[in-house]
Amino acid sequence: MAVHTRLSKGDILDILRIYRIGNLVNFSGIQEGIENTNYKIKTTKNYYILTIFEERVNKNYLPIFLNLMLNCNSKKICCPKPILDKDHKLINNFKKKKIAIFSFLNGKSKKQWSEINCFDIGKILGRFHSVNKNFKKKITNEFSLDFWKKTFNKMDRSKLDSVIPDAHKLLKTELKFINQNWPKNLPKGTIHADLFPDNVFFEGKKISGILDFYFSCHDFLIYDLAITINAWCFKRGKFNQSFFNQIISGYQSERQLTKKEKIQFNILLRGAALRFLLTRLYDKINKKKNSIVTLKDPIEYYGILIFHIQSQERFNYFK
């Protein structure tokens, strides 16, 4: 979530005219995140979220993403529910951009979390994989190996090394290693691919819902788990084994990992770290001057990647 596209009160009023969700009371831009523009809207009926889909989201897949959210809602996985307009459409156009309105999700993300929270994170991810195993629409992961190589090649070496010294050399070596060793035959299904702490809301100690389905795709299930482990089990560069154990336990309460998945986990964790390190570096180097965006720190994922590289031979994740 972020504010790339700025809307006036008149713009918001124009959009609300095509919905039956009440009259505008107030609205405000949401600055957290980096991908899409989001506004919190209060009407005479309720609170809603207006999302304007920006360039990194494939617009052809929007109906699939929104139907996935509807499927999750129907299976008791709480997430924002897409709102139909007066013509029973989920997606509209405004100023040459795709937009949608969603129900407002109560709660807020956590800056600090517990082992119990981590168990629940693993459990909801395992449930997400289980309830969507028969989801018919399959989206290829467009942010996988080919994308990583293209993103790396777009970045100027001197600019890259100015953010992280000698990053170019390390990334080039790691890309080669991952390309040669990436697994081919692991269980696949619909994955969330972005289950970061700011995409999970809590009310008190319980998860109230998950957000941002716009990287969802069909890929290795354990790759999704690797993304989640990297996002929740590192603090200031230090790996938290207890958090890891709880996420794995929660996940396996819904879906058991295979022996092969466990054996391949290191390279999946490295790939998951590399994917977000590359996009964070690219965003930092190419930040737009006129956008109000909270950028994510690439240094964090550099440390995570180094940890997994060094853990290849000597570290047993599943203690």
* CATH value of 107-310 in 3.30.1490.190, 3.40.190.10, 1.10.10.10, 3.90.1200.10: 3.90.1200.10
pLDDT at site 216 = 96
pLDDT at site 33 = 59
Task: Describe the chain by its helix, strand, coil percentages, rounded to 5.
Answer: 45, 20, 35
pLDDT at site 56 = 72
Give the domain ranges of the chain.
7-103, 107-310
Q: How far is CA 295 from CA 134, 220, 257, 282, in A?
A: 35, 28, 34, 11
Helices (H), 20-114: 62-74
Each of the 319 residues of the chain gets a pLDDT tens digit; together they read: 466 788 999 999 999 999 999 999 999 998 775 678 899 999 999 999 999 998 778 889 999 999 999 999 999 999 999 999 999 999 999 989 999 999 999 999 999 999 999 999 999 999 999 999 999 899 999 999 999 999 999 999 999 999 999 999 999 999 999 999 999 999 999 999 999 999 999 999 999 999 999 999 999 999 999 999 999 999 988 999 999 999 999 999 999 999 999 999 999 999 999 999 999 999 999 876 655 566 788 999 999 999 999 998 766 777 6
The radius of gyration computed from the CA coordinates of the chain, to the nearest angstrom, equals 20
* CATH value of 7-103 in 3.40.50.920, 3.30.200.20, 3.30.70.2190, 3.30.70.20: 3.30.200.20
- Axis crossing angle, helix 221-232 with helix 241-252, rounded to the nearest 10: 150
Q: What is the pTM of this model?
A: 0.91
* Pair of tokens at residue 268: 């999946």
Beta bridge partners of 52: 37, 99
CA pair distance 270, 291, nearest whole angstrom: 31
pLDDT at site 281 = 97
